[in-house]
Structures are given as C-alpha cells and as structure tokens.
C-alpha cells in the first residue's frame, strides 16, 4: 500500500497505518519516497493510455509518498476492502477512502490489486533488505495457529 501526498498533507499517515495495525496486519516495510516520473510511470504502467494517466503521473511525480509493505492473512484482498472503491464517493463509510477522501484524484492511498502486482510493486519501491523479517509478539491473539 502507499499513502499518497494528499493524505500526508491532511495528517492521515498515522490514521492509515493505524488501521492496518489495528486489523492485525504486520508492517514489514515503511518508507517515505519522493518518486521520479519514471517510477510513477512504472508503478501505473497498466493505466498508460487512460485519459487520466498524464494527470495522475504529473500529480504524483516529485511529491512524497509513504510506501508500505504489510503482511498477514488475506492482506492483499482485504486491504482493498479496507481502502474502498477508487471513487471515494462510492466507497462506503468505514473504508479509508470513504472516511478520509472525496475526489478520485485525491483518494488518499494506493493498494496493490493482486499477489502478482504486490510482488512487482514491492520490487519497484523496496530493496530486499528494506523489508523486515520479524514476528509480532501478539500473533497468537490474531491467529488461531
């Protein structure tokens, strides 16, 4: 997941990280990056050709982004549920976009949409040594076994 610059400006870094933590997901990678145009174009390569692509790339280039790697059961599919629809006005209350955003171009967060995409995005934004390997002390209170 990534916290976009609009959410950083709105003071919602802790709110968004807190939702992942409170759910029971483990944060294993976390850093603020100021992406180049090439990085944003690579990140959104599947959207090249869409009418909003140029505006999206312009918006995100050169502005800080908080990049997150989270681990846990169902994290990729369920983090999308936690994020809500791309258009925050369709995202239900209780979701990140439903609670924290109004406009599609200021929708607070990015979320990987599949295991393959998540792998590619982690490789794009993190070096292997930037992803931590540790156990949460409360894991037995999150998972049956």
Annotated binding site for ATP: 4, 52, 80, 86, 97, 107
Q: Which of 75, 107, 118, 121 binds ligand IDP (CB under 6 A)?
A: 107
- Give the closest residue to 113 by CA, choosing from 73, 82, 80, 68: 80
Q: Does residue 120 touch ligand IDP according to CB under 6 A?
A: no
**Gyration radius from the chain CA atoms:** 15
| Closer to ligand IDP by Cβ: residue 116 or 132 | 116
Binding flag, residue 9, ligand IDP (CB under 6 A): no
Across-strand partners of 109? 3
Q: Is position 43 annotated as part of the catalytic site?
A: no
CA–CA dist 27, 25 (Å, integer)? 7
For ligand IDP, the closer of residues 52 and 143 by Cβ is: 52
Q: Which helix (H) or strand (E) holds 15?
A: helix 13-23
As a whole number of angstroms, the distance between CA 52 and CA 36 comes to 18
Q: How far is the CB of 31 from ligand IDP (least distance, A)?
A: 20
Residue 65 near residue 52 (C-beta atoms within 8 A):
no
- Asked whether position 105 contacts ligand IDP by CB under 6 A, the answer is yes
CB 85 within 8 A of CB 111: no
Q: How far is the CB of 43 from ligand IDP (least distance, A)?
A: 9
Binding mask 10-49 for ligand IDP (x = CB under 6 A): -------------------------------------x--
Question: Annotated active-site positions, please?
Answer: 110
């Amino acid at each position: 997941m990534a916290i976009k610059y609009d959410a950083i400006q709105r003071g919602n870094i802790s709110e968004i990280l807190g939702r992942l933590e409170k759910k029971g997901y483990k944060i294993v990678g976390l850093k603020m990056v100021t992406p180049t145009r090439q990085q944003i174009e690579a990140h959104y390569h599947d959207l090249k050709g869409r009418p909003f692509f140029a505006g999206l790339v312009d918006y995100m280039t050169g502005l800080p982004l908080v990049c997150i790697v989270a681990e846990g059961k169902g994290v990729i599919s369920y983090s999308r549920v936690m994020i809500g629809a791309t258009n925050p006005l369709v995202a239900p209350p209780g979701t990140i976009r439903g609670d924290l955003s109004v406009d599609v171009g200021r929708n607070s967060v990015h979320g990987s949409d599949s295991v393959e995409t998540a792998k590619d995005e982690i490789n794009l934004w993190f070096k292997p040594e930037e992803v931590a390997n540790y156990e949460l002390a409360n894991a037995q209170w999150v998972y049956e076994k």
